[in-house]
Amino acid sequence: MATPLPELNIPHSTSTVHVSIVNTSGQIRGVPTWRFIAPPIQGHDWLSTPCYSFLVQHPTLQRSLLFDLGIKKDWENYPPYMLERFTKAGVALIVPKHIREILDEGGVDTKSLEAIIWSHWHFDHTGNPSTFEHSTKLIVGPGCKEKIFPGYPDNPVAQFLQKDVEGREIKELDFAESPLKIGQFDAVDYFGDGSFYLLDSPGHAIGHLCGLARVTSNPDSFILMGGDAVHHGGELRPHRWHPLPVSIEPHPFTGLSSDCPGEMFDGVLRDGKDQPFYLPADPANVPTAPHFNIPDMIDSIKKLQECDAHDNILVVPAHDESMLSVADFFPKSANNFSEKGWVKQARWLFLRDFARAVGYEGELVGKVDFSPSAEE
């Protein structure tokens, strides 16, 4: 018998926003999987790291914002200690364009953007706010003003430059001022009409946020902007509402509708068919793991699973490589994801990262290589 879906209690609304998923062009190559997630799985050595942003446009209020910015194009101007970290870790940053260049080329009136929302303050999400007008405010999560600001060099361990954020309003969200909950997440109704919510999702970083956009009504469908609440689909799934299925379609290795038996992955499971393959890497065991609070992060993942249980919610973490072969990216709209079937197409595609672990030696259709040796 199927597990009843969790109640999310999203308030009724007929208001919607237009959402485009922006592939910011930024990539980080050579990120070892063990630094972010555990336990190790044979053959899954490198973490996939495309960097997504989300353009949110309210059609009736004529208001627009960005959720995350990706990596700044002039990454060589990051704080010196960050550049030293990149060198020591052996990672390569590939950033052909600032996100503003991408938006301008796509015809967006970027001068009128009212806000940039950082899911969190790590370098691959903060971009370069100085490329936008000073009238565009910066919105951050709880605790950031005290713990994260100012930027470098005033704060020697900041991952962003103070000059990149100067001259604009910086607003810190206070979820205590909002009585709203979406599922188990504390939430803020950004536009005040039920079209776009910000969700308090701590753990990976101080002040980590997710976004939830209603993109259609009657029937409702939503896009959940996951930031770094998870870094891989195997950190989110399987779970009680989506246990590892008996038959997986499309086939994660070939992309075809041919049957892929779920039992193929039984030997890779960490703790049964209804528990995620991975947990966040704990800094207590992996000192270079970039997570702030593991219990909070696991709690946020459990809350995210309740949203992921619903087929009318497209969960898009910021580095979900699976979406590259499923989604339509900016300048196209993501609002019609439901009728295009993206949720079911993408749900188990992350399993192709376990091809070597299950003995598959054929070509992986649609898989993008983010290893150090990947060609541009």
Mean per-residue pLDDT over the chain, rounded: 95
CB 203 within 8 A of CB 297: yes
Q: Report whether pLDDT(142) > 90.
A: yes
**For the chain, how many helices (H) and strands (E)?**
7, 17
Tell whether the model's pLDDT for residue 256 goes beyond 90. Answer: no
Residue 216 has pLDDT above 80, yes or no: yes
Would you give the DSSP letter of residue 335? T
What average pLDDT does the segment 144-169 reach? 95
pTM above 0.85, yes or no: yes
Q: Note the pLDDT of residue 375.
A: 65
* pLDDT for 376 beyond 70: no
Q: What is the pLDDT of residue 329?
A: 98
- Taking alpha carbons only, the member of 41, 103, 54, 51 closest to residue 75 is 51
Whether residue 76 has pLDDT greater than 70? yes
Question: How does residue 91 score in pLDDT terms, banded at 50, 70 and 90?
Answer: very high
In the chain, what are the domain boundaries?
18-354
| Average pLDDT value for residue range 222-251 | 97
Mean pLDDT along residues 173-197: 97
**What confidence score (pLDDT) does residue 373 get?**
76
Which position has the higher pLDDT, 366 or 120? 120
Tokens 């469908």, residue? Answer: 221
Give CA–CA dist 129/138, Å, rounded: 8
In the predicted structure, residue 92 carries a pLDDT above the cut 60: yes
CATH number assigned to the domain covering 18-354 = 3.60.15.10
